[in-house]
Structure 1
Amino acid sequence: MRLFIQAIFSKVQINLICIVIIFNCNCISQTAPTLTINTNHCNSILFKKVDKEDRGYLSLSANAKDNITSEDQLQWEYKVDLYGDNKGSYNGYDIYVGPLSKEEFKAGKIPKNIDNPFSQNPTNPFDASAYYPLGKHVIYWKVTNSNGLSSSNISSFVIEDCIAPIPYCLTGLNTVLLQSPDGVEIVAQYFNNGSTDNLTSRDNLKFYFNGDSSLTSIRITCNDFIKAQEHCRELKLELELWVEDNNGNKDYCKTYVNIVDVNQLCPIECYAGKIFGKINDLDCNKVIADILLFREGRLIEVTSESEYSFNYLPPTHYKISPMKSDDHLNGITSIDVKKINDFLLNKIKIRSQLYLIAADVNNSKSVTQADVSELRKLILGEISEFTKNRSWRFFLLSKNQNFQNVWNIPQEDSVLLDFSKKAKEVNFTAVKIGSFRHADQECKKSPTIRSNSELIFNCNMELDSRNLLLKLNISAPDFNSIEAFQTGWKFDESVMQYFGWEAGKLPLQDSNFGLSQKKNGRITQLWFDEEGLTYSSNDKLFTLIFKVRNLQRLEKLLKGNDYNSFIELDESITSSKAYNKNIEEIGIVLNHRLSFDTLNDIGCTLKSDRNLVEIKFSTISNKTTNIRLVDLFGRILKEKNTFVMYEGETKVIQFENLVHPAVLILEVIHNNTKFTDKLMFP
């Protein structure tokens, strides 16, 4: 009989990790089994404390096959030698479970040996899963067939903590005062801000600097100030705070220290060189960016300010360069797309030629409809960032006042400081790529105006249960001089899937919709118009169409008025905003209206035979109502002319002397929404 055992390791790390090992055995002869396990591999495992002892969970299971005995009748047993010291009471093993077959186990029988205090199921000899102590252990498996032929396997496994601590440093620039010419001690532990570990307590964690376990503190003296000579009586340090647990696992975070010689204890000659300036965008708003200062090609200092200053600089050449790399979509909306399109149509004149750079989304040194297209894709979520451009670009304000070619404006400055001119002001203009809404207006601070009003999308739902289609007819009572809007739609993909759209009064095309996430239950929409449009509350703007996948669940949600469970506005990809002709930002909300076509849900009841149909129903709003009977070919057999239904009023409609087929379709049109139901006659 041959026993083949295969070990499969699988790691899944959340904070703690569980390893599963499965043994597959093929018992067909007496050939010894073969098994290879990397015992030197560090296994990160799910841990817990038991009686103040750290234990790690390991899943060990076994399967066997034999050409004589069925799998359920094979006899299994296993033993474990803890720590591999051969000191256990079972011929050197500490744990012994078995023998027993799967058939006997299912019948509730218990093996002769059930000694595994770490297992939650010590009566199962083909599953040795348990929380074992930390260390290297040996496991012995044995399987025997009905003829007494057996195979065995010995392998080792390691329970070892390989999860590094989670380091937390004090943030910001931490200031330390120089108290004596002899220096000041910077202690690593002082910069810990609550570092944790899965096993080692916080009090027992080790802290040191820059990966050197012996460097638990750093002493800063006047010699360090003299060597630096960069910030006069300020010495700024970037330090790595390393955190190590009892098992040697370690990780680090960065912290920043500013040692200040406030009492002028050190004999230092301070340089008076200074580079300073400010950063504003095209709308005169302050912009916070990373300002990088280079000297002789080496980065010597970084600050993140809108109004910045580098002080105590010796006379030499410097290069200063701003940088900002936030989300490309940040601050960009449908009104920017509309404004760039207006510029291409010569409908607006821009205030500054720098707006050409903002509109040049694809970095082609020109502004075309290709830029409009890429910006539209960004807002709709079809792309996550600009394909050939950065989120922000910066230009020297002092050098671009009378430029001839906007595409050649320098984006960084080289500064020479000497003893005759010790200070230099360098100002930058920040350009957010894609931001164009105020290109034709005077420079103003805080330009975004938010309206107190809302653009309400009324969603009249129409369910066609025969064709499994749900139509969302969208109207808006406050669609007044709207120039642009954008929104996302979120729907329950298990209930329905996006099928398409139908045009209403609002001019739309396929490019107005983003469908890259439709399989995840999300679509996006962007629209703009050159002039701005106005519609009444009775005008259907557009219709979203969904294919119903679970009609029973959808009907249940509709009956319970639980609309948000299957359709709602969504801002996970793009924000829900609209803009009027004054470029006021308006929020968008969704208002669900009358729902689906089962008559009971609009207060209708039926009584019918072959010659009479009686319909009794009430409504919840004062609207006109039409009712008619049609056959399966859409031909109208009976119709009740338009009448007004008042809120709470009950109507009884009868159609008599009918000559009709066995199946009719009842149509009730209320508030411009059609509800249908199928009538079956005996």
Structure 2
Amino acid sequence: QTITLANLTPFDGTGIVWPEDYLETVSCTTPADLEPADLPAGFDVPVVPADPCAMIATSYHDQLFYIDFPACYKIVRTWKVIDWCQFSTTDPTVGRWEEQQVIAVMDTLPPTITTCPVNDTFELNDACTFAPVFLQPVTALGDCPNEDITITNDSPFAFANGGDASGNYPAGVHTIHFTATDGCGNKATCSVTVTVADLKPPTIVCKDGIVGELAFMPNASPQIMAVINAEQLNEYSSDNCTPTTDLTYTMRFVGDTSPPVPSVVFDCAGEGFHDVEIWVTDESGNADFCITVIEIQDNMNLCQDDTLSVSNGMIGGNVHTPTGDLLPEVHVDMTSMSMSYMTDDEGRYEFHNLATGNDYTVEPWKNDNPKNGVTTYDIVLIARHVLNIHPLDSPYKLIAADVNNSGSVTTFDIVELRKLILGIYSDFPDNSSWRFVRADYDFPNDDDPFEPPFPEVINVNNFTADIPHADFVGVKIGDVNGSASANYDETNDDRNSENLNILMEDRDLKAGETFTVPVRLQNEENLLALQFTLEFETDLELQGFEKGVLARVARDRFVTSQQGKGIMTGFWFHTSPVVATTEDTLFSLRFFSKKEGRLSDRLSLSSRITEAIAFDEEELPLNLNLVFSNPTNMQTDLSFQLFQNQPNPFKRFTNISFNLPQAGPATLTIFDVSGNVLKTYNKVCQKGFNEVSIMRHELPSGGVLFYQLQTPTHTATRKMILL
């Protein structure tokens, strides 16, 4: 007889109550503190219903994952429940049940910054280029013992981007922010203000005294006076940072504690000797002084003449351009009386209360805004004159063209005007911004206004009656075509409103690459002249300039000048129009990129130094604009993105994440600056967001590294730093 016992309702695992996921927010909890016995009920072990016909065994296996934001780390605990009455090695799915429990530990407390440098001031070096700044390093402690804390700073002048922001800092006020970050992404910050300034006072040597003479000034109060400017007593001054021309001078009497002033007015009571302090101050406010003496004399016995009388005579006139535009803000001096007048908005000046029988000399002068009305088109006109292609037809144009004040118009004037346009000169070294000619002067030879020299003053001998029309013609030096604005603060309405667009092909930039940018026109144009200022970010370095079609038709006439870091000025001209098509390269610029980015984000056209303007075949000005184009072969797929690794820099691990437009294979390669492959990860990735964790021990070397993501359709590369 055979008796068979069969379990008609075997244990099927449906009644197992698995432990729920657990979140631990208590700081500094270690994996050893998260064993099942340490967890609350419902989170500790699986609960298996009793079954007399089952032989149940329970086990688990832990996988530890660091930095699974927002937790510090997580444990993936895989539970196994086996019924040995059913389990078979030939079919492991029978009698075996598995479930994963996620245990996350989240530290929400930021680090504590224990040391932060204090605000301080540092002195510029002797060359006034920077100050060596040494700061106390920032230190921080984490919430847990032996916790790794990464400290960074945002100073572009620090030697390193860690907790020590010491470096070479230029003049100015610099606020440096420090960030301490723990392994969980919690952050703490502090900041310090570093002031770099010129703290050294200038040097001054006084003249060994001067003599001031009392003079009669009918429009002044008092009418008998001598005005002494502090700078008159300066023999020699210098400063380590401020140019001599930008030093300011003031004075006060020895023993006087009031602030010094630029000048002192003496009247009859001031006749005699006065000890004075002459102060020199640099642009940073540092000052020093020397002591000298002023002697005030009354050589004309003005102070003893109690019967001195003043008549009501007047000398006045208008100052205007060759085209009749009235010139405001022209200084007009009556040199024989130490009197001065500034022309009003109508270009008018008048000196009143002039005594009859005296001799007077009237002299106008104006030496500001030398670029007013000056463009490369003026160089075209001068070049045509020098080459006898089209001689200048006015004595005033010839005076304007004599930039170097040599008494003739030559190629040297072109050289001087070029330097002004490009910003090499800020003023005319051998000429003033404006020259003035007596309005009633008849040039003996219109083709040579320099011989005899034209009169720039009006002399009045034995003044007997009012002179209301002592007029002058003002000539703007360098402005041959007369485009200067009489009031430079106003907009020149004569400008053409048409535009000329120059074209550059936009591109992505890689750190460490050298590339060439051709410059073309968006539309064909007959060009006569071209000038501009090009500004670029400091992470671009201009390495060279290559000539194009313009230089081929006008050799050596395309001139550029790099005005220090991040600025380039340029201009080109020809005596007759040159056809430039959209296929022609006007010129090319060669750059070195220090970091990745977009060209259009780093280049711009401006008039900061050299006005951006061009002239066409009709000699009309065109507003010059810079337009960026996309390459015809550029394909942009915004769904493919390689993100910057986080954290970066890193010590123990980092995560590299990326987006893929579709699921498929991807290869992540890490290599050093020499191109040596350090690690390769081959993965089958999902569509959308993906992430790869990289541990420090997986990489044989540190420093600056590159990581490249490659798929069958896309490739991207980024840089990271392993400390």
In the superposition, the TM-score normalised over structure 1's length comes to 0.45
* Larger-gyration structure (1/2): 2
Larger relative contact order (CA 8 Å, sep ≥ 6): 1
In the superposition, the TM-score normalised over structure 2's length comes to 0.42
